Structure formats: structure tokens, C-alpha cells
Structure 1
Amino acid sequence: MYSIKLLRLAHASSSCRNSYHSLLPTDSKKRRTWISYSLLVFPAASFALGYWQIQRRKWKIDLLEKINSRIPAKPIQLPHKFVPFLLVISSLFCIISVVSSSELPEFTHILVRGHFDHSHEVVIGPRSLIEDFIPFKGYGSEWAIRSPNKLLQSNMIRPSASGYFIVTPFYLEDRPGTSILVNRGWVPYGARDPIIRPDGQVEGVVELSGYIRYQEKPPTRIFGSQIGSLTCLDHANQNPHIRYPCRQIDKMSNDLKTLPIFLDADYESSVVGGPVGGQTRVVLRNEHASYIFTWFSLGTIGLGMWIYFFIF
């Protein structure tokens, strides 16, 4: 008798449970709501960013090709149209208005003729020697790190792993009273003072070629990021060196009363006993391939998880 009651109770419980589940929506209908569909925004955004990185990579490759074609190109004369109209007025007050940089594309090969004003040269640094344009056993190779024993060597001064870029105002011969900034090249720490390198302080009219450079972003670290002053031994003929942490063209041109045009002198402009020219390096990060992989991977994983949770 008790067994019959237990069977009836179990049957009733099973019937109630089945009727309850029949009233519930199916699993897929329960899960796929507007909230679940809104989650597709994340994989869609990842795929969109991946496609955007593909376009950015194409743009970066094209830019690198253009820059690499400018480096070996034959130098051209500096166009007159880049001399600001306010130069005539501002020169009366010995002030050059710095309102914009050169309109020439960066790394354009330029040929100029004129003379240096060594008494107002400044330095950028500390910087390491760029060896990209130094030929085997050429001038400057004695300081290079490519020596067999990996040590810096120099017969002129004590060895130094770092140094400075020497930036000097250069007065253009065809535009009297007009000067630009020229990075003559690199010198070790021990040759920073001009009295140590008198043979490199060329006088008179010279012709040199170099590459147009743009403003450089100041370093974010506090140490070494401030503009300072370095004394020189020849007080009568040489102003103290102003040390800039980077290529601050607007600040330099304003301090030295030059046009906001900056040239990196090429290696052929080097003078034995002076700065080592050719201190130009094309540094453009091209990591878009890794970004493409990252975004498409995140999009694929996100879409796969959505399908797993809301479809199957």
C-alpha cells in the first residue's frame, strides 16, 4: 500500500516538474536577449581596429619608402619662399619671429652656401655617435663601437661612449643677415669645448649639404631634460654653450635669432678635427603587424566566446 502511494507521489512530482519546464522558454531564447547582442560590439570593434591597423601599416610602409628615397637624392637649393615676411621688420629689433617650421618635407636633401658663427654654437646631448654613414676606417670610425674589441678608441682625446651634437648658426650667402641652424655633427665629451678642436672651426664661406629635420619631442624624464649652460675656456671669442636635451628648433631659433630651419649636415660635410657629420637616423616605429595580429585575435576570441555561450 505504501509502495503504491510512493509511486503515485513520484509520478505527480515528475509531472509537475515536466509541466514547469514546459512553461520556461528554451535555453537559446533565454540567453539571446538585447544584452547578449550588445556584447557583439566588442569583437566588432576589435575587427575594426585590426582593419584600421592594416591601413596604418600601408601608410607607414609608403612613408618609409618616401623617406628612404629622399636620403640618397641629389641636394637641392634652399627655396627663398621659406624666408618669413616678418624677417625684414623683426631684424630691425634683432628678433626673429618663430611662427612655423620649414614647409619642406623632413629628410629633404638641401644644399646651402654661407659661413658659420662659431661663437654662438650650442650643443644637444648627451648623444651617442650614429655610425650609419661612416665608411670603414673613415673619419669618426675611431670613436665607433664597431671596433673588434668593442672599445672606443681615439688618438685625439680620451675615449668616450657619449658626447654632443654641435649646432651652429649658419649665415646664408645669398640672403645677407639670414641664418639657419646646422647640426655639424657629433663630438665626444672631451671635445665639447671648441678650444680642443680648433682645426674643426672652419672659417670663411663654405658649401655644405644636409637634411631638413623637424622638431623633436622633449624627453619626459626629469633628469637631463632641462636646458643648461656649459662654460667654455675661450671666454673672449666663445659664448658659454647652451645645452639642449633634444632638437628644440623653436627654442633654438628664438635664442640664436635664426630662422626655424634645421639641417643635419651629412657625412661629406665633416671636417677632420671637427664634429663627425652624418648624424641622421630615420627612426619610425612600424609595429603595425603585431597590432593587426592582436586585434584580430581578440576579435576572433570574443566572437568565439559569444557563439559558445549564446548559440550552442
Structure 2
Amino acid sequence: MIRLNNLALSKQIRKLSSSSKSSRSNLNQKNPKSDQQKEESKGNFASYAFFTIPSSFFALGVWQIKRRNEKLNLIKSLEERMDMEPSSLPINIQDLDTFINENQYRPFRVKGYFLNSKEILLTTRFDVTSKSNLPGGYVITPFVLSEDTNKIILINRGFVPFTSFSESARSKFHIDNQVELAGFLRADEPKCQLSHLNKPPNEWHIRDLKEMSQELGTEPIFLDQVKPFGLPSEPTPTQTQVDVKNDHLSYIFTWFGLSLSTFFIWLKYFAKIIP
């Protein structure tokens, strides 16, 4: 009786072991397929994720093309504004900041006299007309408007080389009588980390309208004088160029170059086209 029970028990154990082996073999048969699917899904995800890199670079290149066209149109409009006939400078300006932003580089005509005793030098500058190869500065002189005796503005009379920095040398260019002249309206000069800071009252490097007007007791209105008729040719006037930074062409090559290089990397490692 015990032997029969042992035989029955051994048969049960064999059945269980055989069933466990079959289940293991079934698991072993299923695992490679599931692992392969997992690997494929991971590869697809990595491929899509990496493809966003060249796509993003390409989008940035297209955006830089748009920005460059906008900047070229802005420069063209400002140059056309400089060719306009000078108009009289308004006496009562309600919003000065808006007026300057909307009319920068536009020529205005003023009449009055210079306060030569308060003029300052804006250094270091170079003559944009190329009449002088020496470094120098701009002569900035307060100008009293005849139409309004209480209003004084700032006039950039032009460039002088460093050899004419002394007061005795600059006194030769002083004008004491009333004059009429025209000049381009200018805004604040862009500052950068390499710019030297102004050190009033005697050291000036940046066209900062608020700081200059407070020190000299004028309105924050700045005109770059153009070449006048019947006035001395020195300091050299017309020191105005459209100063709008336009580096977008280099950015276009950079972004499209990065897009192309990362696209080839994607082809090599994910698309399997390039061996």
C-alpha cells in the first residue's frame, strides 16, 4: 500500500516537473520576441528624439532668415529717412521717448546759438567721413534754441583729432553768433560690457542722453550736425551712420550647418542609410 502511494506520488512529481519545464520553455520562447519588441520601441523612441535636434536647428535657421529680412528692411527705411528734407524741431514734445524712437535718424532744422563754455568731448571716436585717419572725439556743445529761450539741446558738431583736444585748439572753431543748422536726431548709444563708462564732468565715452543732459543742464535731445553752409568745416560734421546690428547671416550658416551635420548623424545611427 505504501509502495502504491509512493508510485502515485512520484508520478505526480514527474507531471509537475514536466509541466514546469514546458512552462519554462514557453516562457523562453516568448521572451526573445518581447525583448526584441522592447528594443525596437526603444530604438524608435531614440530615433524620433534625436531627429528633433536637426529639426530644431533647421527651424532656427528659417527664423534667422526672417529676422535678417526684417533687419534689412529696417536699415533701408532708416537710410531713406536720412534722405528726407530737414523739418523744424517741434518745440513742445509730449512724450519725448516715443518721439525719439519714432524719429531717430530723421533730420531736423534748428536755430540758435552755442554755449561754447560747456562743450564736452565724446571719445574715443574715428572720423566716419575718412578725412582724418587719427583717433579723436566728437565735440558735443549745448545749443540754445531761439524759438524757445528756455530750451537747450545737445549738438554733436563733429569730429576733431586728438591733436585738437586742447581748449585753445578747439576755441578756433567756436561760433558766437546765432546760426541755423540741421542735424539727425539720435537716441542713446547701445552699451556693451567692453564700453567705458562716463565719468562726469570731464570724461565721456558713451552717448547717454539722460546723463549728459543732467550734467550740462539741457533737454535730452541730441542732434548729429550735418554739413552746414557758411559755417566752419571743422569740427568735421556728418558723423552719422545707420548703426543697426545685423549678424543674422552668420547665424543662418551656423544653424543650417548644425542642422545638416546632425541630420547626417541621424542617418548614420538611426536610419541606417549611410554605412
TM-score band by shorter chain is 0.7 to 0.9
Q: Choose the corresponding residue for 1:69, options 77, 80, 101.
A: 80
- In the alignment, is the contact (CA less than 8 A) between 1:101 and 1:214 conserved in 2? no
TM-superposed CA distance for 1:70, in Å, is: 1.7
User: Structure 2: where are the runs of 5+ without partners?
Assistant: 1-28
- In the alignment, is the contact (CA less than 8 A) between 2:224 and 2:239 conserved in 1? yes
User: Structure 1: where are the runs of 5+ without partners?
Assistant: 1-18, 85-97, 133-140, 146-160, 230-241
Letter aligned with residue 64 of structure 1: I
TM-superposed CA distance for 1:190, in Å, is: 2.7
Output the CA distance in 2 between the equivalents of 1:163 and 1:245. 11
TM-superposed CA distance for 1:114, in Å, is: 0.9
Q: Could you say if the C-alpha distance between residues 70 and 245 of structure 1 is closer, same or farther in structure 2, counting changes exceeding 3 Å?
A: same
Q: Within the alignment, does 1:46 sit opposite 2:57 as a pair?
A: yes
By relative contact order (CA 8 Å, sep 6+), the higher-ranking structure is 1
Q: Within the alignment, does 1:193 sit opposite 2:166 as a pair?
A: yes
SS of structure 1 residue aligned to 2:160: strand
Letter aligned with residue 131 of structure 1: T
- In the alignment, is the contact (CA less than 8 A) between 2:200 and 2:215 conserved in 1? no
- In the alignment, is the contact (CA less than 8 A) between 1:101 and 1:260 conserved in 2? no
TM-score w.r.t. length of structure 2 = 0.77
Other-structure match for 1:298: 258
Between stretches 44-53 and 187-196, larger displacement belongs to 187-196
Output the CA distance in 1 between the equivalents of 2:63 and 2:153. 39
- How many residues are paired up? 243
Other-structure match for 2:197: 225
Q: Could you say if the C-alpha distance between residues 39 and 273 of structure 1 is closer, same or farther in structure 2, counting changes exceeding 3 Å?
A: closer
Letter aligned with residue 106 of structure 2: T
- In the alignment, is the contact (CA less than 8 A) between 2:65 and 2:252 conserved in 1? yes
Other-structure match for 1:116: 114
What is the CA deviation profile of residues 127-174 of structure 1, one whole-angstrom value per residue up to 9, with x for unaligned ones?
Answer: 122216xxxxxxxx4xx23xxxxxxxxxxxxxxx22221101111111
Q: Could you say if the C-alpha distance between residues 180 and 100 of structure 1 is closer, same or farther in structure 2, counting changes exceeding 3 Å?
A: farther
User: More helix by proportion, 1 or 2?
Assistant: 2
Q: Choose the corresponding residue for 1:265, options 210, 215, 225.
A: 225
TM-superposed CA distance for 1:104, in Å, is: 3.8
TM-superposed CA distance for 1:189, in Å, is: 1.9
Letter aligned with residue 71 of structure 1: M
Identity of matched residues, %: 28
Q: Provide the alpha-carbon RMSD of the alignment.
A: 2.8
Other-structure match for 2:269: 309
Q: Could you say if the C-alpha distance between residues 227 and 219 of structure 1 is closer, same or farther in structure 2, counting changes exceeding 3 Å?
A: farther
- In the alignment, is the contact (CA less than 8 A) between 1:71 and 1:109 conserved in 2? yes
Output the CA distance in 1 between the equivalents of 2:209 and 2:230. 22
